[in-house]
Structure 1
Amino acid sequence: MALQVLPDDADRLARPATVIGFVLALFVPPLLSTSGIDTGPLVGNAIKWAIVAILLVIVVRFESDSLTSIGFIRPRLRDIGWALFLIVAVVSVFALTDPLVTALGLPTEQGIAQPSLAVGIGSAITAGITEEIMFRGYPIERLIDAGYGPVAAGGLTWALFTVAHVGSGYPSGNLLQIAVAALIITVVYVRVRSLVPVILGHVVIDLVGVLAYVFS
């Protein structure tokens, strides 16, 4: 995967509909999370679904493209393997980095509101589906279409995904772990170019986290 700083076809990114799609997908979530506005989980989830709905309309109606162009590929048997790899890798990251985070004196979990089981499950499913579309499928594919290399496209979206979690109440220790986990997910998406395994993996990972947190 070669790093390409300048795109070959920047005009593709200058289309009004695509500009709106990028702003909605990559910049609205970080701005909301760092604005200090407490939307609550239900409103926050509704905003994510609304953004995704608009993105899908943009792709089909205004970009005149198919949903396969943003990673909605027909499920393949190997997707299960990649999803399992993601689950094991990311859960291992959290388990193995806990001692390091503790040794560094970085806080974890404090300040995060404990959700009810129903809200937690709803938020996990919402995050797993919508965030993969917003931060992986749509922007990475559009950046690659414009001529950016996969490393540059994945790196930009990974950075903004991490920033989007800064204002969400996660302490610094958890943010470090989330950044590493997001990097793994981004690398897998760039490798397979399909939303199926990353959505499956993301949903299961978040569900594991919710269940562990609620019942701890």
Structure 2
Amino acid sequence: MEAPNKRYRITTFVGLFIVLVLTTLFWFPSVYKAILSGDFEVRNYQMQGVDWLVVLIILGLIRWGERNPLSTLNIKKPTGTLIATGMGLGGFSMLYIFLHRLVLNGLGVTTGFEQQTENPALEAVGPEFVWVYGIFSLITASVAEEIMYRGYATERLMKVSGSYWAAFIVPLLAFVLMHYRKGFDHLLVVLVVGSLMQFYYLKFRNLTINIVGHFFIDLMAYVGILSKEL
């Protein structure tokens, strides 16, 4: 990637404003519920679509704004080593989630990790929603969110600021706040797991590792939901 110039900086600041500010504000329940459909199933599909729309904007900014190749997102060809490293990220994250629930449940605090606070019981929606939306959301979370918060926001902040901690903390805060709608308990999980994701990305600068790790985490959560509810 070329050294930052005026065009690159302007394009990057526009992209960062979209990802870190506008997207964060949009995901507050009072905002997105006023904009998206009132039907639960339709709204959840629309929510996935919003993430992909942001990704398309990011890709456009990189290709025609920055005039850089999309390879600057650092998505690398998966290898056995990369997949194993990503699984390690997922494994450490799942270990924390297990301990998190174990400790809070031991204190008599009911955790809500398996189910978003706004979601109805799975039996209240059709089986096609559980399977189709579940798979769609796994792909969206592991690919779209990683492009937005790690491959784009973290990478670009590192480039324009030259600060490791700015690149670590700012996208992490936006990533955590984006999950505000899922409840405080989930926010704590996202803060710790998101910190691991930031650490891994800045250490390896390889988005494939993060995508594999994120997919593994959400897949385990999804399997847990299905095994409990179906």
Task: Tell me which residue corresponds to 1:105.
Answer: 109
Task: Tell me which residue corresponds to 2:126.
Answer: none
Alignment equivalent of 2:164, drawn from 150, 165, 169: 150
Task: Tell me which residue corresponds to 2:200.
Answer: 188
Contact 2:138–2:218, Cα closer than 8 Å, also in 1: yes
Task: Tell me which residue corresponds to 1:18.
Answer: 12
Q: Which moved more, 1:46-55 or 1:109-118?
A: 109-118
Q: Which moved more, 1:128-137 or 1:199-208?
A: 199-208
Q: Work out the CA distance in 1 between the residues paired with 2:169 and 2:80.
A: 27
Change (3 A) 1:162 1:45: same
Q: Which moved more, 1:61-70 or 1:32-41?
A: 32-41
Q: Which AA in structure 1 matches 2:179? A: H
Question: In angstroms, what is the RMSD of aligned CA positions?
Answer: 2.3
Q: Please list the CA deviations of residues 56-93 of structure 1 after superposition, one character each: whole Å capped at 9, or x if unmatched.
A: 11101110111222222343442112111111111111
Alignment equivalent of 1:59, drawn from 58, 62, 65: 62
Alignment equivalent of 1:160, drawn from 174, 178, 186: 174
Q: Work out the CA distance in 1 between the residues paired with 2:183 and 2:29.
A: 16
The yes-or-no answer on 1:130 pairing with 2:136 is no
Q: Which AA in structure 2 matches 1:117? A: W
The structure that has the greater radius of gyration is 2
The yes-or-no answer on 1:209 pairing with 2:221 is yes
Q: Name structure 1 gaps, 5 residues minimum.
A: 1-8
Q: TM-score, normalising length from structure 1? A: 0.86
Aligned length: 206
Q: TM-score, normalising length from structure 2? A: 0.81
Q: Which AA in structure 2 matches 1:105? A: V
Secondary structure of the residue that 1:146 maps to in structure 2?
helix
Q: Please list the CA deviations of residues 31-78 of structure 1 after superposition, one character each: whole Å capped at 9, or x if unmatched.
A: 111142334220011111111011111101110111222222343442
Q: Name structure 2 gaps, 5 residues minimum.
A: 37-42, 123-129
Q: Work out the CA distance in 1 between the residues paired with 2:70 and 2:8.
A: 17
Q: Please list the CA deviations of residues 131-174 of structure 1 after superposition, one character each: whole Å capped at 9, or x if unmatched.
A: 001111111111111132223201111111001111x2x22222
